[in-house]
Structure 1
Amino acid sequence: MESHTSTQLKVGIFLAVGAVLIMASLFFLGADRALFTSYVRLHAHFDQVQGLSVGSVVSLSGVTVGNVEAITFLPEVNALDVKMKVDADYIPRIRQGSQVEIRTQGALGDKFVFIIPGDPRAEVVKEGEVLQIAKATDVLGIISERGNETNRIFDIINELYKMTHAMNENNRMGRLMGNLETASTSLTLASKEAQKLATQLNESATGDKFASSLNKLDSILTKIDKGQGSLGALINDPSLHNQLKAMVGANDRKDHVKSLLRQSIDQGTKATKD
């Protein structure tokens, strides 16, 4: 009887020790890594946290280096203090001049703090230091930061909707596209006809005659320009021009008209006296 009781006691102790070892293994491999990790607390002052919460991830160039430990209002300032605990192993990567911003990750839009490293030649940040706020590059962050200016985007979308609705009303877009297609087809046919005509002119005797006529016309115009022939002499010789001008009228014709007017006046005067 005593032997049976001793055996049960040993089995119970063995199971208890095994259970403790299993729980300890899970504890050390999982959540209790913090027992062997030292953290440095850093701060950032935001005008708004945009859904950031305690426990949110702190990322350094895309690598998770810590979590948000606390979010509190700053006294006498309209801002929020975000307290971050960062793994001390990554602190040498965070230098003076490093900046932070709130970004969005995942399809659910989870917020996290993104640290942008500064100049690697600068000094390493210290415990309790406040990091600078970077200009927002996240799309949702920019929209939130712009505030009322985002209304313009919706105004533009509304105007585009009105324009497309007006164009689609009574099938205007369809008719416009049909007219464009008809005009394009007509232009293509006209181009083909012009090409055929040009080909026929080049290949037939008519084309040769047309080219010959152009050459003759060019030859005639060249001779006229050089003063050859009667027409060329008339156009290029100023003396012939002056002679024709004298024959047709100009000053002589004016003098003749004046003399006739004087004679008419004199005759009228004599008739009145008689």
Structure 2
Amino acid sequence: MANKQFEIEIKVGLFVALGIGLVMLAILVLGSTENFLARKNTYSVHFPTVEGLLVGAKVVLGGLQVGTVKSIGFDPEKHNVRVELSVAKDSSEWIRSDSFAEIVTQGVLGDKYVTISTGNQNKPPIPVGADIPVRMTKDLSQFLNKGDQLLVSLNSLAANLDHVLKTFQSANRSEIFFDGMATTAKNLAQVSEKLNRELDGLNARLAVRNLNAILDKINNGTGTLGALVNDPGLYEDAKSLVGGANRNRIMRNLIRKTIKESEQKNADESPKSP
């Protein structure tokens, strides 16, 4: 009786374990975006570094997950890292000769995965098992690493600056420095004032020299003004011309005035109409 009860318990336990296993398998199949029953094609990609990529990471084609990373290992012939990709067969037609693969990060601190660009349908497809070209881009983690290096450099710079300021403030060096700056500024002001005086004197001497040159030309009869000053005949002709013009203007004004007065007088003497 006891043996029969024990056999029943074993059968029930096996049945429950089998049921739990089937449920877990169903959850894995239904919860995964990849169809485990779909036929797969394998491609290779060679990277200088995988940057934390793991086996089982997803493979994305045109924004859709189409496979997973099958294996990762060193390639002794090409001296880099060989990554095998398992891609759904019905998605392989989008992998063309102008397609390229790259490793990207999901979010800021997310997992690494491989993305493949969709190629031009006019280009020939990449054969199954062949290498997909690689495009190396700056990953977000690389920028974060450079940011860390920049912060370290800034901290070092701040420490050095703090040391310089403390040294500068000790032993009255700041007072000596500012006294020296004040003396230097005073000397610069004196030099500037002296330079301005010398420039003013130089400008005055240049002006006198130019004026003397002009007077020399006038005395030598050079130019119109020199001719007028040194040629009496030309001066008299100019005087006569100006005088004649003035006399002609006076005569014209006198004649206009006489004609106007005569017309006014005739208008006053004419008989008015009844």
**Which band: TM-score by shorter chain?**
0.3 to 0.5
Q: TM-score, normalised by structure 1?
A: 0.46
Structure having the higher Rg: 2
Q: TM-score, normalised by structure 2?
A: 0.46
